[in-house]
Chain A
Amino acid sequence: MLEGTVVLIVKAIVIFAVMLQLVPVVLLGERKLLGRFQSRIGPNRVGPYGAMQPIADVLKLLSKEAFTPAAAVPWMMAIAPVISVTTAVATMAIIPFGPYDVWGGGFGLYGIDVSIGILYFFAFGSLAFYGLVLGGWASGSKYSFLGAMRAAAQLISYEVALGLSLLGVAMTAGSMSLVDIVESQDGIWFVVPQFVGFLIFMVAGFAETNRAPFDLPEGDAEIVGGYNTEFGGMRFGSFFMAEYMEILIISGIAAACFLGGWHGPGPSELAPLWMLLKIMAGAVLFIWVRASLPRLRYDQLMSFGWKILLPLATLNVLVTAIVLVVT
């Protein structure tokens, strides 16, 4: 009994540490890759190839003043970044890095294996929206409020398409647990039969994380900072960190559900390596799209989500259901 608890605690610490260390890697990789996509190099002064740049960024954020506007609600401003980070970190628990007992010791390389894995991911994704909305409203400024309202509408619109695209995967695998979904991709990765679902998931994933081309809620040129205008110092750093963790999580879920999870050539002990490689590939895709595509205007964004993505996702589920019943 105690051994199970110790294993659980160690797994929690290790997963949290690994994903937290990946966030500065993605941060630095984004700046360097964005530079490369724009015919320049990213930061290269702070350390060798700019490797100490994330440390410099964190130190800068830590030393800034956390200013609270007069019309703000201080306690809500304090807990809004906490909600964002907590929901992002909680979703990390279900991303499977390896099957049960692959390294011996009687545990799987994931935090927990809930039988409703996909639903758990959606629950926390929906809760993450509270962090944005409360943060924007509690700031007491018009830009923040507008940004928060837009972010809220965008998030809840694209969550429906996200859910329907994963529904196709759940039907094909016959289970909602992420570990079962990965294990049922032994033969063929779900990106091949569920190609449309994969595309819909990635597009809705961009919208869920408020990343380009759907980053109007936090677009610098349009509404200053949107919901995170009034947050200073480490509060802004928390929102920032939560956003990059969401990138890794969406990549992780996409890798687990569509790209075969931990399956890869070589011995099965290399399972987490393949998973990490796929997550990094997803992050590179996020950065590549950010460097290439212009921002969608808000009405274009909403009409795209409801009028194009949702019917496509429904059609995908319908066709998948018919094919599964017929064969």
Chain B
Amino acid sequence: MGAVYRVFGETLRGLKTTLGRVAEGHHVIQYPEEKTPVYPRFRGRHKQHRFEDTGLEKCVGCSLCAAACPAKCIRVVAAENTPGNQVSAGERYAAVYEINMTRCIFCGYCEVACPFDAITMGNDYELSDYHRSDLIFTKEMLLADPPEHTPLRREGE
């Protein structure tokens, strides 16, 4: 009979625990109005960069990123810079630069492989779309900023 009293007491303790959860409040982040801030080294959507002062693209079309990619989702076709059409700072530039987002595994090897810091992984992860053909990101899309801003975790948080 003593065991029954002990079990009853444990039952009441369980009820008190759940009541404590009500008292301490919820920890819900209401997506999409609020988003969880990402860490600085979070590997999101790729971004291609330009030089700040001259506005020329950093990418020279060496396709080291395509070689490093484990999923083989980057396609680079290089072309020569002509004096009339100077796109990048060196002799050649990437005429066609496409990343197939349906195959990308977001590992970050392309960022590590690039010798010119031309491609980095940004913070954007909201990449859904309606057609698979729209998910092959071109150079223009990668150069531009993502449409939605993902909050970044501040230092020390």
Query: A interface vs B, CB < 8 Å?
Result: 35-41, 44, 288-289, 291-293, 308
> Cβ of A39 and Cβ of B21 under 8 Å apart?
yes
Query: B interface vs A, CB < 8 Å?
Result: 4, 11, 14-15, 17-19, 21-22, 24-28, 30
Which residues on the A side are within 8 Å of B25 (C-beta)? 39
16 contacts between A and B (CB under 8 A): A35-B26, A36-B26, A37-B19, A37-B22, A39-B25, A39-B27, A40-B28, A41-B26, A41-B28, A288-B19, A289-B15, A292-B11, A292-B18, A293-B11, A293-B15, A308-B4
CB distance from A207 to the nearest CB of B (A): 15
Which residues on the B side are within 8 Å of A289 (C-beta)? 15
Determine the main DSSP class of B at the interface with A. Answer: helix
Determine the main DSSP class of A at the interface with B. Answer: helix
CB distance from B24 to the nearest CB of A (A): 7
Q: A130 to B28, alpha carbons, bound, how many Å?
A: 43
- The residue from B4, B11, B21, B28 contacting A37, defined by CB atoms under 8 A apart: B21
Which residues on the A side are within 8 Å of B11 (C-beta)? 292-293
> Cβ of B26 and Cβ of A293 under 8 Å apart?
no
- The residue from B4, B14, B24, B26 contacting A292, defined by CB atoms under 8 A apart: B14
CB distance from A50 to the nearest CB of B (A): 13
Closest to B17 in A: A292
Which residues on the B side are within 8 Å of A36 (C-beta)? 21-22, 26
> Cβ of A40 and Cβ of B26 under 8 Å apart?
yes
Closest to B27 in A: A39
Please give me the 10 A-B residue pairs with the lowest Cβ-Cβ distance, nearest first: A37-B18, A292-B18, A292-B14, A36-B22, A39-B21, A292-B15, A291-B18, A41-B26, A40-B26, A41-B28
Q: A191 to B145, alpha carbons, bound, how many Å?
A: 67
Which residues on the A side are within 8 Å of B21 (C-beta)? 36-39
> Cβ of A39 and Cβ of B26 under 8 Å apart?
yes
Which residues on the B side are within 8 Å of A41 (C-beta)? 26, 28
Which residues on the B side are within 8 Å of A288 (C-beta)? 15, 18-19
Among A36, A38, A40: residue with most chain B CB under 10 A: A36
Q: A38 to B24, alpha carbons, bound, how many Å?
A: 11
Closest to B8 in A: A199
Which residues on the A side are within 8 Å of B18 (C-beta)? 37-38, 288, 291-292
CB distance from A204 to the nearest CB of B (A): 15
Closest to A294 in B: B14
Which residues on the B side are within 8 Å of A293 (C-beta)? 11, 14-15
Q: A293 to B14, alpha carbons, bound, how many Å?
A: 7
Among B21, B24, B25: residue with most chain A CB under 10 A: B21
CB distance from A282 to the nearest CB of B (A): 15
